[in-house]
Structure 1
């Protein structure tokens, strides 16, 4: 264990930029969620189509995280992040210049936004590799707090769309993207603690090797519930507020921003809590509380006074879980953190895609998104059962080898 304090360890400028880069990337990744009510009205989309366009960036980001997980170990975190930012800026510039007026065009934009979502697999290794095991929860929590970018999207995208049209929001997004790109190139530095260089075929084999590890699948499931729930709700709440409560897109953005802010703010707390009482104990509490809240959401009367506190609480709970998962991942897979961040991030993205699209389908087929919330509650209980089944083995095998760090 290092005798240095958290702020004496690692590289502070890189940690701060990992957060800022992830924050703006997350803002862009989630833009279609707050814009969906406006876009759906203009393009006459049904609830299932609206849920789908919101979910596409999430799925694209999940797949691209696998690519980034490979690249951060192959060419370095800084270069990988820079390439992703260039792709996003170029894609948004083209979409803004030519305009988007069809469902197919929206899907293409969603794929481009997926490159921003893949920043997850860059920002977390960028921070993680600078810090020793006893500070992993805090470092990953601070970098991961960049998911607060969803707050910025929820607050500003509807207002800008109302004033200038939703297509011009794509152009406005280029301003913070360009500013952060410049700062990123100046201040970010890869950690000297990098894994040994391997060929591309070895990295691909590394993914298959990790998929042969039972623990990897558990982490994919655990993050699929915590992060998947967080990002799926963050993308879907604007449509829920406008569709179920007839709120304006701007007011729905305010309500969504408050809920997302809660989940983002507590992510470092989740990592720190996991450092203090153990990641397994923290996650167990998260899944129990999240399952109860999601079940309550599916059955509660549909009014703002009841539903807003429930959404606020479940987003905060899932945010704590996000920090706790990534307190555990570097301990179990420290030398494969790039590959595992990609795999676990993929699981989170798939979870978000499932939740966002299932809420739209439930609304389309059953007249209410409530069944979608209930099914996700069951998934949280499955994650709890899985965690309970492996916790004894984890504590007596790999956890026991990490002195001074509770799991």
Structure 2
């Protein structure tokens, strides 16, 4: 059914990407993802203020900002299953309502302990699971040769982390960090209304399956490879987005507002290039794109580990985020080439792996700081993971090109 649908679309309209699919849905997916990601990483830019109020250790700060990432990783699988059962639009609406209600409750009741921050982190993890909603919502409207662009543009919603870094520290200074939880509900509600008005489920959804059938992709080793690569690319991006405010305040003594601006610059770079990464992967192949990504990311993160000045560290972080953001788009150019019929659950599985990588980086930086007095070991280990991913990609790429059959459809991998 899906093949016939796209063949018909290609005959009717040969004007390219912008004349295919459903632009209102693509825009709605981006906006939904953008605001969801804003609140997902909210604890990161607020962490210095929260730590002062609750007297948290370096390890507790790291665990606090890592908890939403881990919760989002786990919930992405659940949401991915829900998307394939009831459709991405309804799944997104339910998720957003729960997040708004939870934030309002936290604002009204107050968060007064480390345990409370962890509970809040679990709630914010549901916002992080929006990844498994926005991407299939947008991508199901587009044919395989445009998957990288569609997923990249929808996935550019991870720029919401920039909004959190820019505005949360200033609002916390003006009104107190707990008030930021309530204030975040205002844009969330506005975007929910826009989302409900503009988003539309694609006409070619996969046929319903049993719950166990959704986990079938895990029987393929390709699913595990893709999850491993995203663990590094998105894990690095989300882990840094959550942790950089802490790094800049602890390492260089910046104010929380200045640290937020520095973090926003780094995160903006990584968010901006995600659709470019998808487009580049469409052009030269996801494998070639990821090869460059892992090399650049490893070198930049290794350099950050011993950067002596703020300017050098900031520059290297921007380079690392540019590479990792490109890698995020490249991985999701590859996913639908191999698992188009299981795109909903694969989005959840791959996204879950990325969240686990982000949890590891955020928490390990905190523990490294507490145990050794330096962030260096955390950065070096993650740089090593990028090199391991490069070695694994080198091993599997030939088999992918021979067995996936993408070349027969004019798609580069």
Shorter chain as denominator, the TM-score bin is over 0.9
In structure 1, what is the equivalent of residue 28 of structure 2?
Answer: 17
- CA shift for structure 1 position 402: 4.3
Matches within 5 A, 1:311-350: 311-350=317-356
Alignment of 1:203 onto 2:211: yes
Alignment CA distance shift 1:323-1:221 (3 Å): same
Aligned residue for 1:299, secondary structure, equals coil
Aligned residues: 402
For 2:221 and 2:59, locate their aligned partners in 1 and report how far apart those are by CA, in whole Å. 35
1:228 to 235, 252, 261: 235
Matches within 5 A, 1:61-140: 61-140=72-151
In structure 2, what is the equivalent of residue 360 of structure 1?
Answer: 366
For 1:239 and 1:204, locate their aligned partners in 2 and report how far apart those are by CA, in whole Å. 41
Aligned residue for 2:409, secondary structure, equals coil
- CA shift for structure 1 position 299: 2.5
For 2:256 and 2:280, locate their aligned partners in 1 and report how far apart those are by CA, in whole Å. 36
- CA shift for structure 1 position 203: 2.4
Structure 1 length-normalised TM: 0.98
For 1:401 and 1:254, locate their aligned partners in 2 and report how far apart those are by CA, in whole Å. 44
2:270 to 263, 273, 279: 263
For 2:303 and 2:145, locate their aligned partners in 1 and report how far apart those are by CA, in whole Å. 36
Residue pair 2:278, 2:333 contacting (<8 A) in 1 also: yes
- CA shift for structure 1 position 401: 5.2
Residue pair 2:299, 2:383 contacting (<8 A) in 1 also: yes
Q: Structure 1: which 4+ aligned runs deviate by more than 3 Å?
A: 1-4, 399-402
In structure 1, what is the equivalent of residue 248 of structure 2?
Answer: 241
In structure 1, what is the equivalent of residue 178 of structure 2?
Answer: 167
Unaligned runs of 5+ in 1: none
Matches within 5 A, 1:250-329: 250-301=257-308, 303-329=309-335
For 2:221 and 2:125, locate their aligned partners in 1 and report how far apart those are by CA, in whole Å. 27
Residue pair 1:26, 1:149 contacting (<8 A) in 2 also: yes
Aligned-residue Cα RMSD (Å) equals 0.9
In structure 1, what is the equivalent of residue 388 of structure 2?
Answer: 382
Show CA shifts across 1:151-184 (max 9, x none): 0000000000000000000000000000011111
Alignment of 1:145 onto 2:156: yes
For 1:136 and 1:317, locate their aligned partners in 2 and report how far apart those are by CA, in whole Å. 20
Residue pair 2:69, 2:128 contacting (<8 A) in 1 also: yes
For 2:133 and 2:197, locate their aligned partners in 1 and report how far apart those are by CA, in whole Å. 17
Aligned residue for 2:305, secondary structure, equals helix
Residue pair 1:399, 1:406 contacting (<8 A) in 2 also: no
1:406 to 379, 397, 412: 412
